[in-house]
């Protein structure tokens, strides 16, 4: 019951009486009705025997401070966590069990205690930490209520005092902190006492006064003074009773009005004026109380007043002063399970719980009404198949079997119904309406299943029907009309079942047919047109049954067909199309049978480039059969399926599903039954009526759900713990606890199956584990250590409790892995080590003498071996150097040069590949002495060797430190001039040539000679634009070829490199050697020569022109 105060200053009944305002008795036999408008449907979820409820009479309902729901039944107490019902009963001889199984009343305190009133067992409270039930006792140690007393109601007031209503012992107040007890009972001699000791209900008013329902009416109790004001006779008089009337329920609403539920009807004592209004059941009068036997009252957080009676649940419409009644319907499993309602409760999330006499408890989510479920305009048929809207605030509903209804959008009442009358050709031709449309003229068109297309004359309310006529080519092509569309030009398009597509010609009152065509461009792939839509370019999209999707150009009649191809995921996902929708941005969306939702990628003006992006159940859709698609004002798509309603975000692909538990007419909708009004309201029809709602006004549960531990198991058996699972602050495990299961729950009851979980055992799991709807986890063989088990949960509306559950978990090590065990291991190891050490010491002593004898011998041998090793290392170094060094000149030898050039070229190639920088070039230069052989012949080879040594010194002096100079063999030297071009090479070549020519070579014994050298050089890469054209070895061969030409002149140099044009010369290496002049003439070679005739510095003769006999042979 509602307990919150509205904050206004209280008005006492004594003050009202002092105003001397007479009580007016107003009978509530309503003459006003809302036409044929029915009560807004309610979908109930049941918890009864099928769910495990042991007994069906739910007399009390309460939610505790943690969020568990408790039900009091005639056979024990039941706790509900959204998934399972836990049944608690009295166990004789077991301390801490219930005192009695008949639970008549429940109350929950902010301290976590649950108070239980029993029928024959007094009052007990549940310890929230241990789960034990303890009797309520006074400060003196006596039972606050005798065990044999029957408790009927419990109430915790704003001070935390517990009020206990008993059947025969009056009212008991208990201060639960001090255990002080105060009793209120009836006294015949004192009119300021209770009217009767049989108290059935207690409620608190806004001013702190208590309203007490007794067998003889209702009393007002002032807790401060303890005085009672009896109001039962006034209520009885207002109800027309000749004597006292039993009050079963009492409630002060947010307006300060007092509601009293009795065995003779419902009474309201108004706060202003003290008028008493009564509401009685009147047979066959709509809008009256369903039964005069009122058992329960509830005002919910939205201010709605609910009345539980012996003949159903009633909702009071304050403005219309009427009742909407909800009863059990045998054919509707979502109706109230039992008409006898005995308890009502609203939980913290706003869900309403209805306890019944025999069929358990029902749950209703008030947020479901934001989906606007209506049964339709005609009770005879609730299967809604079509919608249309005119400019007169009329919503047209087409049904399957109940014809057509016109609904007043302002009141929701049905204005008129149109049904087929067999003998009236001007009536609706078929009660099975498949499509409806109001055109720009305001004319209503109705497509039927088997009787053609009908047009309504608004003035006469008569229908003009169009049917196929074999003799008339411009007649409707088929009787079955599946869809209608008016395009932006005002043309009416008709999709038929069996006749393809037709366009209505208003001038001729006939139709142009677009029938089936197996070949050619004109015609559809299927004669069963199921969906129509026009895109921004004016082209028409036609969905078919089994024939895929067609794109029609209305101007040319050309048709482009799109069909499903099994091996191509970019094609249409299924060949049966139930809906085609063009969103506000011009995007085209396709709803299919079994294939989900398709989005067309590409332009209709370029159909060859069109591809399809599919969304299915794998992506989160409620179902892969999509009957209808509509856009809301935010650009989201709403999809009606056979598994609920899906909301799709086109930009992100996010999907949220809604089902009957959210307020839908059902999980399955009807083909073609979808519509968006000019106001943005969306409509979707199904077998059980329709939903009409504004997406932006839908209500969601924004309260994060509490997350609790519901079970702690070891080896699949409940673990022994001093506290109940939900109160555990930590978990300690032993080394033998190899299998541990933790079960948890989000205490949100709207749609528990849609709650979602993620968990993590910190220290074990690397991150959050997305568990979906699974709410338990098992860990095996956890290593010793400290962990934290964390759970986050989201309710069915996707609101997450990010804090969730956090539970430290400690796993103790095995005895042999504890600290004291390790200390023992250390001591044992120390003893073993000492024994081994002692043994070893004795052994060492025995061996010491032997070691000393060997010491001298080992020392001598070691010195000898060290000397030999040094000799070997020296020889190895000499051998390695000799392998790369010319022994005569000290320059590198041929092997040295090959090794260094190979490394240089590889390094430059790697640098170019990694950094993109061009490789460095180099010039390979071959130097040959011109007259060494005559000198050898005259003076001997030792003289030649001296000349070679002095030439090597010249090369060392002329070359840079980083260049490579080597004796290639005989009297030939090779220089690798790194990072140089031909210009640099000219300078080096001239420097070497000049130094050699000027050098006086000393042969020993006072002898000297003169000689000269010839030089050839080539650049590598030979062609810069084609680095890979020639290897460095080939470039060295070209340098040798250049030397050949220089030797013809002697004491000269010649070098070359290829230009960019040389890259195109086939066999460049051979061509350079054989056809130099042509290549130079064609600009394919860059040739550098000695630019002057150098003169000998001794005899002034031209070296290149000397005869061998002219050379001096000695001094």
- Give the number of other Cβ atoms within 10 Å of residue 768's Cβ: 13
For β-strands 1053-1058 and 1007-1009, DSSP reports them as unpaired
Give the C-alpha separation, 514 to 397, whole Å: 29
Q: Which of 551, 538, 644, 554 has the alpha carbon at shortest distance from 590?
A: 551
Asked if residues 754 and 667 have their Cβ atoms less than 8 Å apart, the reply is: no
Residue corresponding to tokens 């497509």: 447
Q: Where are the domains of the chain?
A: 707-817, 891-1110
Q: Reading across the β-sheet that carries 492-497, which strands appear in turn?
A: 480-486, 492-497, 501-505, 510-514
In the three-class reduction of DSSP (H, G, I as helix; E, B as strand; rest coil), residue 1008 is classed as strand
Q: Which two tokens stand for residue 405?
A: 């209804």
What is the CATH superfamily name and number for domain 891-1110? Reverse transcriptase/Diguanylate cyclase domain (3.30.70.270)
User: According to the model, what pLDDT value does residue 875 have?
Assistant: 66
- Rounded to whole angstroms, the Cα distance separating 208 from 107 reads 18
Q: Which distant-in-sequence residues (6+ apart) come within 8 Å of 905 by Cβ? A: 1020, 1032
Q: What pairs with residue 394 in β-bridges? A: 408
CA-atom Rg of the chain in angstroms: 52
Q: Phi then psi for 1079, rounded to 5 degrees? A: -65, -40
Q: For residue 978, give both structure tokens.
A: 């790194």
The Cα–Cα gap between 734 and 815 comes to: 10
Closest CA to 695 of 753, 637, 768: 637
In this structure, what token pair is assigned to residue 86? 């836990």
Contact predicate 690/377, CB 8 Å: no
- Residue that the structure tokens 């009004």 belong to: 677
The answer for residues whose C-beta is within 8 angstroms of residue 335's C-beta and 6 or more apart is: 44, 326, 327, 328, 329
The distance in angstroms from the start CA to the end CA of the chain is 137
Residue 729 preceded by cis peptide, ω within 30: no
Instruction: Report d(CA 297, CA 266) in Å as an integer.
Output: 10
Q: Return the exposure string of 27-49: e unless at least 16 CB atoms fall within 10 Å of the residue's CB, then b.
A: ebebeeebeebbbbbbbbbbbbe
Q: Phi/psi class of residue 407: alpha, beta or left (left: φ > 0; alpha: ψ in -120 to 50)?
A: beta
Supply φ then ψ for residue 950, to 5 degrees. -70, -35
Q: Which helix (H) or strand (E) holds 992?
A: helix 982-998
Question: Could you tell me which residues come within 8 angstroms of residue 58 by beta carbon, excluding any fewer than 6 positions away?
Answer: 71, 72, 73, 342, 343, 355, 356, 360, 361
b/e map of 566-589 (b: 16 or more CB within 10 Å)? Answer: eeeeebbbbbbbbbbbbbeeebbb
Instruction: Answer for the pair 684, 691: CB distance below 8 angstroms, yes or no.
Output: yes
Q: Could you give the CA distance from residue 993 to residue 1052 in angstroms, rounded to a whole number? A: 7
Q: How many CB atoms lie within 10 A of CB 551?
A: 19
pLDDT of residue 907: 85
What's 980's DSSP letter? -
| 8 Å CB contact between 89 and 78 | no
CA 250 to chain centre: 47
Phi, psi (degrees; rounded to nearest 5) at 893: -100, -175
CB-count exposure of residue 50 (10 Å: 0-12, 13-18, 19+): exposed
Residue 854, pLDDT score = 80
Whole-number Å distance between alpha carbons of 940 and 231: 151
SS3 494: strand
Residue partners of 284: CB distance under 8 A and separation at least 6: none
Q: What angle do CA 631, 635, 636 make, to 5 degrees?
A: 65
The Cα 256–Cα 266 span in angstroms is: 16
Backbone angles phi, psi at 233, to 5 degrees: -65, -35
From residue 371, give the alpha-carbon distance in Å to each of 43, 356, 636, 959, 970.
Answer: 12, 26, 16, 94, 104
pLDDT at 27: 29
HEC readout, 835-877 = HHHHHHHHHHHHHHHHHHHHHHHHHHHHHHHHHHHHHHHHHHH
Look at residue 379 in the predicted model and tell me its pLDDT: 75
For residue 179, CA distances in Å to 645, 810, 1096 come to: 55, 40, 134
pTM, full prediction: 0.70
Collect the ranges in the chain with pLDDT lower than 50: 1-37, 519-520, 1094-1115
* Nearest partner of 795 among 440, 483, 365, judged by Cα: 365
Q: What is the pLDDT of residue 461?
A: 94
DSSP letters for 1078-1104: HHHHTT-EEEEE--S--B-TTT--BGG
Cα distances (Å, whole numbers) of residue 877 to 29, 659, 880, 891 = 124, 89, 5, 16
Strand order in the sheet with 637-641: 626-631, 637-641, 645-648, 655-658
Contact 183, 170 (CB under 8 A): yes
pLDDT for res 273 = 60
Distance CA 77, CA 392 (A): 56
Residue 421's CB is within 10 A of a number of other CB atoms, namely 13
CB 98 within 8 A of CB 121: yes
Q: Which of 501, 498, 504 is nearest to 549 (CA)?
A: 501
Taking only the tens place, the pLDDT of each residue in 513-570 is 987 765 445 578 899 999 999 999 999 999 999 999 999 999 999 999 999 999 999 9
pLDDT at 874: 67
Residue closest to 627 by CA, chosen among 576, 672, 587, 595? 672
The 3 state secondary structure assigned to 761-778 is EECCECCCEEEECCCEEE
Q: For the chain, what's the residue count?
A: 1115
- State phi, psi for 822 to the nearest 5 degrees: -65, -35
Which string of b and e fits 114-153 if b means at least 16 CB within 10 Å? bbbbbbbbbbbbbbbeebebeebbbeeeebbbeeebbbbb
Top-level class of domain 707-817: mainly beta
Query: So what's the pLDDT on residue 600?
Result: 98
């Amino acid at each position: 019951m509602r307990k919150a105060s509205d904050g206004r200053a209280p008005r006492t009944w004594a003050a009202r009486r002092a105003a001397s305002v007479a009580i007016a008795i107003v009978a509530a036999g309503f003459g006003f009705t809302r036409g044929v408008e029915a009560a807004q449907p309610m979908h109930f979820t049941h918890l009864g025997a099928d769910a495990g409820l042991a007994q069906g009479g739910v007399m009390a309902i309460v939610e505790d401070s943690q969020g568990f729901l408790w039900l009091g039944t005639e056979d024990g107490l039941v706790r509900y966590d959204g998934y399972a019902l836990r049944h608690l009963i009295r166990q004789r001889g077991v301390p801490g069990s219930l005192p009695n199984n008949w639970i008549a009343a429940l109350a929950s305190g902010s301290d976590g205690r649950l108070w239980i009133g029993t029928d024959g067992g007094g009052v007990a409270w549940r310890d929230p930490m241990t789960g034990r039930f303890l009797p309520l006792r006074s400060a003196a140690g006596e039972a606050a209520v005798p065990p044999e007393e029957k408790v009927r109601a419990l109430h915790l007031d704003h001070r935390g005092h517990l009020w206990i209503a008993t059947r025969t012992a009056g009212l008991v107040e208990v201060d639960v902190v001090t255990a002080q007890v105060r009793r209120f009972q009836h006294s015949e001699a004192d009119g300021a006492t209770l009217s009767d000791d049989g108290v059935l209900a207690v409620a608190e008013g806004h001013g702190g006064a208590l309203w007490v329902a007794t067998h003889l009416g209702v009393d007002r109790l002032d807790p401060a003074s303890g005085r009672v004001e009896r109001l039962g006779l006034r209520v009885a008089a207002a109800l027309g009773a000749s004597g006292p009337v039993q009050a079963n329920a009492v409630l002060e609403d947010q307006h300060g009005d007092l509601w009293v539920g009795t065995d003779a009807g419902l009474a309201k004592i108004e706060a202003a004026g003290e008028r008493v209004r009564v509401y009685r059941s009147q047979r066959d009068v709509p809008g009256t109380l369903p039964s005069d036997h009122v058992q329960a009252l509830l005002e919910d957080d939205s201010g709605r007043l609910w009345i539980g009676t012996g003949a159903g649940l009633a909702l009071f419409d304050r403005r219309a002063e009427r009742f909407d009644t909800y009863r059990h319907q045998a054919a509707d499993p979502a109706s109230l399970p039992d008409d006898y309602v005995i308890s009502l409760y609203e939980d913290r999330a706003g869900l309403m719980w209805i306890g019944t006499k025999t069929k358990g408890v029902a749950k209703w989510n008030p947020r479901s009404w934001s989906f606007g479920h209506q049964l339709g305009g005609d009770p005879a048929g609730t299967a809604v198949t079509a919608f249309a809207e005119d400019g007169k605030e009329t919503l047209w509903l087409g049904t399957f079997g109940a014809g057509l209804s016109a609904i007043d959008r302002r009141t929701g009442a049905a204005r008129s119904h149109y049904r087929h009358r067999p003998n009236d050709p001007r009536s609706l031709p078929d009660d099975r309406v498949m499509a409806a449309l109001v055109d720009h003229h305001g004319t209503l068109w109705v497509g039927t299943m088997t009787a053609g297309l009908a047009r309504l004359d608004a003035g006469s309310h008569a229908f003009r029907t169009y049917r196929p006529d074999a003799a008339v080519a411009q007649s409707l092509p088929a009787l079955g009309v599946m869809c209608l569309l008016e395009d932006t030009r005002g043309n009416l398009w008709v999709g038929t079942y069996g006749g393809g597509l037709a366009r209505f010609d208003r001038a001729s009152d006939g139709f142009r047919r677009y029938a089936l065509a197996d070949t050619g461009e004109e015609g559809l792939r299927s004669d069963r047109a199921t969906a129509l839509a026009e895109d921004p370019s004016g082209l028409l999209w036609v969905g078919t049954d089994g024939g895929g999707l067609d794109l029609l150009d209305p101007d040319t009649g050309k048709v482009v067909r799109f069909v499903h191809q099994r091996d191509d995921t970019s094609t249409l996902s299924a060949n049966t199309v139930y809906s085609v929708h063009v969103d506000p941005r011009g995007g085209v969306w396709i709803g299919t049978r079994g294939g989900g939702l398709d989005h067309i990628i590409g332009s209709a003006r370029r159909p060859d480039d069109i591809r399809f992006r599919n969304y299915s159940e794998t992506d989160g859709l409620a179902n892969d059969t999509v009957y209808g698609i509509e856009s809301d004002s935010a650009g989201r798509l709403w999809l009606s399926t056979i598994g609920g309603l899906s909301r799709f975000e086109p930009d992100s692909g996010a999907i949220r599903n809604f089902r009957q538990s959210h307020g839908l007419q059902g999980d399955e909708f009807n083909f073609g039954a979808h519509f968006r009004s000019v106001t943005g309201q969306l409509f979707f029809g199904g077998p059980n009526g329709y939903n009409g709602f504004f997406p932006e006004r839908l209500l969601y549960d924004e309260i994060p759900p509490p997350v609790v531990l519901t079970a702690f198991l070891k080896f699949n058996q409940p673990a022994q713990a001093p506290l109940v699972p939900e109160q555990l602050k930590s978990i300690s495990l032993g080394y033998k606890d190899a299998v541990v299961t933790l079960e948890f729950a989000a205490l949100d009851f709207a749609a528990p199956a849609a709650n979602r979980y993620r968990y993590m055992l910190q220290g074990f799991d690397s991150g959050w584990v997305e568990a979906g709807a699974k709410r338990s986890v098992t860990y095996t063989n956890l290593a010793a250590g400290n962990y934290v088990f964390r759970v986050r949960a989201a309710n069915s509306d996707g609101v997450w409790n990010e804090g969730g559950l956090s539970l430290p978990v400690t796993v103790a090590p095995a005895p042999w892995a504890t600290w004291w065990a390790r200390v023992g291991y250390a001591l044992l190891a120390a003893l073993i080590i000492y024994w081994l050490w002692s043994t070893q010491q004795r052994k060492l002593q025995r061996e010491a003498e032997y070691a000393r004898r060997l010491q001298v011998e080992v020392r001598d041998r070691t010195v000898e071996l060290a000397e030999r090793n040094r000799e070997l290392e020296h020889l190895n170094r000499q051998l390695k150097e000799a392998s790369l060094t010319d022994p005569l000149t000290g320059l590198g030898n041929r092997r040295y040069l090959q090794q260094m050039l190979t490394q240089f070229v590889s390094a430059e190639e790697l640098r170019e590949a990694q950094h993109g920088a061009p490789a460095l070039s180099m010039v390979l230069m071959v130097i040959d002495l011109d007259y060494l052989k005559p000198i050898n012949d005259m003076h001997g080879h030792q003289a030649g060797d001296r000349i070679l040594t002095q030439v090597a010194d010249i090369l060392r002096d002329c070359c840079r430190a980083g260049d490579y100079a080597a004796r290639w063999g005989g009297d030939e030297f090779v220089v690798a001039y790194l990072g140089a071009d031909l210009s640099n090479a000219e300078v080096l070549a001239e420097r070497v040539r000049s130094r050699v020519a000027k050098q006086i070579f000393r042969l020993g014994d006072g002898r000297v000679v003169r000689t000269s050298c010839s030089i050839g050089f080539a650049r590598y890469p030979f062609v810069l634009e084609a680095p890979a054209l020639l290897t460095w070895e080939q470039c060295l061969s070209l340098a040798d070829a250049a030397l050949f030409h220089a030797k013809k002149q002697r004491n000269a140099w010649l070098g070359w490199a290829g230009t960019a044009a040389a890259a195109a010369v086939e066999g460049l290496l051979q061509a350079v050697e054989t056809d130099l002049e042509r290549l130079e003439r064609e600009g394919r070679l860059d040739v550098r020569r000695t630019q002057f005739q150098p003169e000998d510095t001794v005899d002034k003769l031209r070296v290149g022109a000397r005869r061998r006999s002219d050379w001096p042979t000695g001094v």
